[in-house]
Structure 1
Amino acid sequence: MVARMANSGAASHLEDGDGDIPTLENKGHLADAESSSSDTAGSSSDDSSEEEGGDEEEEEEEKVVEEESGDSEACAQRDEGEADDEEAKREKPHCGMRVYAAGPDPEDSIEKEMTLKVCCERCKAAQQSQNNECVIPRRLAKGRLQVRLDGEGTFECSVTGLVFETSEPVTVQYSILSWSKYSAFIKGSWKFAGPIFNVDTVDKEASVLKSIQFPHSVCLADPDSEMTFKVLHIKNGGPLIEPTVDHSGSHVKWNVTSLSPVGPIFQSSEAVQHHGVVMVYKQQGANNNNYIFHVYLAPNSSSEIKDIAKQVRGYRCRYFRIDKSPTCELAEGTYRLMSEPEGEIRPQDLKFTMAVTKMKGYFEAFFEQPPPFKLSLIETVTEEMVWTATIREEDCVDKSQTKSRKRTHGRQRNSSQSEEEVGIKRARWQDESDGVRTAGRNESGDVSEKELLKVAKQLGKEWKQVAIHLGLSSSQLDNIQEAEKDVTMQKLKMLVLWKNTRRQGEATLQHLWQDLRDMDDLPNEVCQVLQGSE
């Protein structure tokens, strides 16, 4: 029998709680990350919009990968025609099986940051099929998803695991938020049980959604466990703890009161097991004889998985995800990573906690010999092995880069032109009859102003530091700012000034990358633009 939840009582304000979430204990051992609680968050849907406009703007998934026309059923029909068997298998799951997409590289698609497949031997009896109708969402900008629900019924998103109960047709948009923004609202013994979402209806009132079921990561194998599920609802300028109406081994059900950031939380007087994930990333571009891996522990929550992927993208060095079976059982406590053959692993022990932290702790494993490497995760108190994987030579190749190169070569072959055609285009784009090169690159291959504008648009407030790295002086920057008020044009003129100081043939994107690659604060987006020129 699944642990029953406390459903009585009206929504209670979280301010009544006592105590804050502790921070990660091993922060002194981390190479690139410090664990810390985030600042007090804002509230209501305005807060979530602000987060989408800030945090999610930095993500590489901020692009529309589906056309704006057509509903989710049409998307499904198109996808079913794809040759990729893996994709076809994933798009027609029985939603009660909780089969969601996961992949090796978080940059490839939004789905790879979502909830991973749960295969828990301890509590699988509690994860009962609900016979929900699967819907495949369209992906919009800034990490948002959208589904069209065609009538009264219960529908489950094939990507996030959200379940919507509707009374009539409605279009729903939703996005995954980070718990770190709302950590100050989780007080006392309450802990997050699954991802937090911002949900909204596009063409109808919120009352059209009767209920929402949120996926959770708590293992309910112990039938006698005393556990209470509720939801944290950011509403009317403040956080509320609202009652839920039911829960299963995979979901927490909540009757919709209004739509704004909402996520499941739980309270238990006993130690709790969680459906967890172990995420392995390899550093790209290291010495061919050296192998560096980062290994993260997290609950199986798309909010946490997304946070880790974003943290990895923010590092100076590029890392890619290694596709190994990630799911395991994790309890709050201390874990040790072991390897065969023995490598240099730090820290020696890592504490797994459900505390909300802005930066996630990880193991760093360093090997001076080639693979295979067998990694095993050990719980230090019981010495039980909770996860193991073997990393082979083929796993250490960034497959996304290989695919990108193939696409690039294909485009080059398809765009081959005769010398006459090239000459016509060169004459059109490089008309110098008035003494000014109007557009395009010159014959030396130097970067064009159009290309520099792309770089300028990706630069933030660190653009002046970029200028110093490029050898420009403070007085030159002052002159640019006096002559031009538009910030983007200031950045462009700075880059053009750099170009003009170079000799012909030494002002390419590759040369710009060589001058900036050692800069610590260079935005990821700029790195990608410049690295793509190599």
Structure 2
Amino acid sequence: MVGAESLSSDEKEVTPNGVEGSSGSGSAEEQPEGEASSEDSSSSSSEEESDEEQEEKESPPYCNESGGSCLAPCERCRNENDQKEQVTPRRLAGGQFMVQLEAEGSYQCSSTGLIFEVTGRARITYSLLSWSKCAQLVQPPWIVGGPLFDVRCSAPGALRCIQFPHCLCLGGQGAAVAFKVLHIKGGGAAIEPSAEFSASHVKWVVSSLSPVGPLIHSQEPLQYHGAVILYKAIDEHPSLSFWVYLATNNDSFIKDISKAVKHSKRKFVQIEKPPVCQKLLQEGKKYRLICEPEAEITPEEIEFVDGSLLKLKSYFEVYLEKPDDFTLSLVEQDSDETVWKAKLRERDWIHYEQNKNEQKRSTGSVKRRKPALSILEEEGLHSKKQKTGGTADEMGAKSLTDQQLLVIAKLLDRHWREMAIECLQMEMKDIDDIRAMEDDVTMQKLLVLRKWREREQGQGTAEALQRSLGEKATYEILQALQGFLAQS
């Protein structure tokens, strides 16, 4: 078996370091053709996220019941990859996907469209990121060409190439388009060459693993596969209010729309209508939304641009006084051709009210769920109270021993340097000094932990290390620290 099947909701796995986005500063540095970065890369630190953001990342931005993307490209683009072996990813917490590939070959993820070329067995985890958080890294003449992903691999050397889906319809004009990829590394980024591109994908030879996404440069007007995303406002008023978004067929773009609507002060429900535009969208052209019977629509028209890098996305607001059935049509202003059309009926959203209470209970249970860190802290402290009749602080808990720190050092993953700087407040100079005098990586980690313990001045306890590592600690580390607490 090549790919793992999706887990049910009660089987969903939890990974310690789900990453939603990466931050960086400065513009991307373009690399010449044929050059690839050989430096060790690491994704930049993820921002702390609320429970609502974590819930949002549990689902792809627009998917069908099987978890696959509804936003399929045109027939010609899709047929090109029909021969690829399809794998169904396992869904992990934090919006991550995982596939276990058992042999050499090319495999396409059924949910994201990513294609992985591997030379042998590999476990690949990946998550969808937002381009708007990396806007300062994309400089003209380059523009966004498709979704941005953070990809990890258990055997980095086995992952030879990644093919990223792009949102263009080349229409036989591929010679006029140049593709590269933006490779985000640490505090900056580099523009790296693509190996080749097809009607649907951009191929990149893996240089190192961190957030990567396709870029486009073209002297000619670009044509995009488009999608229309509908949301209805939920309130007690009998009138109807909708937000209608015009987007490229780019999962990162559509995810940003979902997040913007979710964080609005108003409550909305997404209306499930076929989203794919029947006519290609062209940058710079104007489109208007028409309603039958007539409704108030603001603005009257929208000039289409790829808004992937924009934090605020443009949309039409539709207002109807009476809750009757109606038809929405998106029309290209110059040609008056219909790009997209859908009929909306009351039953498209009426069931939401019936299920709202159940949804609130479900959402409430997720929000009230305590993270593993809090649970383990409570269990550890409760155990100490039972044994000693007081908390660790009250009884003067002992600092972690070298043997205990060595256990933690062995559990730290390859991002331990970032964790030391972010969570343990270490300076890069301290880490460089330690690496200069000690070659063994495990011993380097131990020396960093010892330096943290010394700085704590007798308070370098298991509980203190839990607090310092916070959500960055893996479940295995938390279990080890809980064991140390129980021994105190």
TM-score normalised to structure 1 length: 0.57
CA distance in 2, matches of 1:394, 1:56: 31
Partner of residue 271, structure 1: 221
Aligned residues: 330
CA distance in 1, matches of 2:197, 2:145: 12
CA distance in 2, matches of 1:210, 1:456: 39
Q: 2:322 aligns with which of 365, 369, 373?
A: 369
Partner of residue 346, structure 2: 393
With over 3 angstroms needed to count, the CA separation of the structure-2 counterparts of 1:152 and 1:455, relative to structure 1, is: closer
CA deviation map 1:114-134 (0-9, x unaligned): 74332526xx26841352221
The residue correspondences of 1:11-22 to structure 2 (distance < 5 A) are 14-15=28-29
Residue pair 1:61, 1:141 contacting (<8 A) in 2 also: no
CA distance in 1, matches of 2:313, 2:359: 34
The residue correspondences of 1:140-219 to structure 2 (distance < 5 A) are 140-201=92-153, 203-204=154-155, 206-219=156-169
Q: Does 1:257 align with 2:252?
A: no
Partner of residue 54, structure 1: 49
Residue pair 1:136, 1:158 contacting (<8 A) in 2 also: yes
Percent sequence identity over aligned pairs: 40
Greater Cα offset, 370-379 or 270-279: 370-379
Offset of residue 144 of structure 1: 1.0
With over 3 angstroms needed to count, the CA separation of the structure-2 counterparts of 1:396 and 1:404, relative to structure 1, is: closer
With over 3 angstroms needed to count, the CA separation of the structure-2 counterparts of 1:353 and 1:165, relative to structure 1, is: same
Write the letter of the residue equivalent to 1:117. L
CA distance in 1, matches of 2:369, 2:237: 29
CA distance in 1, matches of 2:346, 2:95: 33
Residue pair 2:145, 2:214 contacting (<8 A) in 1 also: yes
CA distance in 1, matches of 2:77, 2:127: 30
Residue pair 1:163, 1:212 contacting (<8 A) in 2 also: yes
CA deviation map 1:340-391 (0-9, x unaligned): 0000000111122124101111100000122311111112223222111111
Write the letter of the residue equivalent to 2:184. I
Residue pair 1:233, 1:240 contacting (<8 A) in 2 also: yes
Partner of residue 305, structure 1: 254
CA deviation map 1:38-82 (0-9, x unaligned): xxxxx96432x414x43786242456x9xxxxxxxxxxxxxxxxx
Partner of residue 173, structure 2: 223
Residue pair 2:71, 2:275 contacting (<8 A) in 1 also: no
CA distance in 1, matches of 2:267, 2:225: 28
With over 3 angstroms needed to count, the CA separation of the structure-2 counterparts of 1:154 and 1:15, relative to structure 1, is: closer
Partner of residue 331, structure 1: 282
Residue pair 1:178, 1:303 contacting (<8 A) in 2 also: yes
CA deviation map 1:95-142 (0-9, x unaligned): xxxxx9725xxxxx894xx74332526xx2684135222111111121
The residue correspondences of 1:224-243 to structure 2 (distance < 5 A) are 226-235=176-185, 237-243=187-193
Write the letter of the residue equivalent to 2:63. A
Q: 2:70 aligns with which of 116, 119, 128?
A: 116
Q: Secondary structure at the match of 1:46?
A: coil
Q: 1:102 aligns with which of 63, 71, 75?
A: 63
Partner of residue 350, structure 1: 302
Write the letter of the residue equivalent to 1:341. P
Q: Secondary structure at the match of 2:316?
A: strand
CA distance in 1, matches of 2:140, 2:296: 38
CA deviation map 1:141-182 (0-9, x unaligned): 211111111111111111111111111111111100000111
Give 5+ residue unaligned stretches, structure 2.
1-26, 32-39, 372-488
CA distance in 1, matches of 2:77, 2:359: 46
The residue correspondences of 1:325-474 to structure 2 (distance < 5 A) are 325-328=274-277, 329-332=280-283, 333-355=285-307, 356-399=309-352, 402-403=354-355, 454=368
CA distance in 1, matches of 2:174, 2:56: 43
Offset of residue 324 of structure 1: 0.9
Offset of residue 185 of structure 1: 1.3
TM-score normalised to structure 2 length: 0.62
The residue correspondences of 1:481-520 to structure 2 (distance < 5 A) are none
Give 5+ residue unaligned stretches, structure 1.
1-12, 18-42, 66-99, 104-108, 412-449, 458-534
Offset of residue 315 of structure 1: 1.2
Residue pair 2:71, 2:227 contacting (<8 A) in 1 also: no
Write the letter of the residue equivalent to 2:28. L
Q: Does 1:292 align with 2:245?
A: no
CA deviation map 1:202-227 (0-9, x unaligned): x32x2210100101110111436500
CA distance in 2, matches of 1:62, 1:244: 28
CA distance in 2, matches of 1:309, 1:301: 13
Offset of residue 238 of structure 1: 2.2
Partner of residue 436, structure 1: none
Residue pair 2:43, 2:184 contacting (<8 A) in 1 also: no
CA distance in 1, matches of 2:62, 2:296: 32
Offset of residue 285 of structure 1: 2.3
With over 3 angstroms needed to count, the CA separation of the structure-2 counterparts of 1:128 and 1:345, relative to structure 1, is: same
Offset of residue 408 of structure 1: 10
CA distance in 1, matches of 2:164, 2:173: 21
Write the letter of the residue equivalent to 1:330. L
Write the letter of the residue equivalent to 2:249. N
With over 3 angstroms needed to count, the CA separation of the structure-2 counterparts of 1:131 and 1:55, relative to structure 1, is: farther
CA deviation map 1:3-44 (0-9, x unaligned): xxxxxxxxxx83579xxxxxxxxxxxxxxxxxxxxxxxxx96
Partner of residue 322, structure 1: 271
Q: Secondary structure at the match of 1:278?
A: strand
CA distance in 2, matches of 1:311, 1:137: 27
Residue pair 2:182, 2:213 contacting (<8 A) in 1 also: yes
CA deviation map 1:464-484 (0-9, x unaligned): xxxxxxxxxxxxxxxxxxxxx
CA distance in 2, matches of 1:456, 1:155: 37
Q: Secondary structure at the match of 1:365?
A: strand
With over 3 angstroms needed to count, the CA separation of the structure-2 counterparts of 1:403 and 1:155, relative to structure 1, is: farther
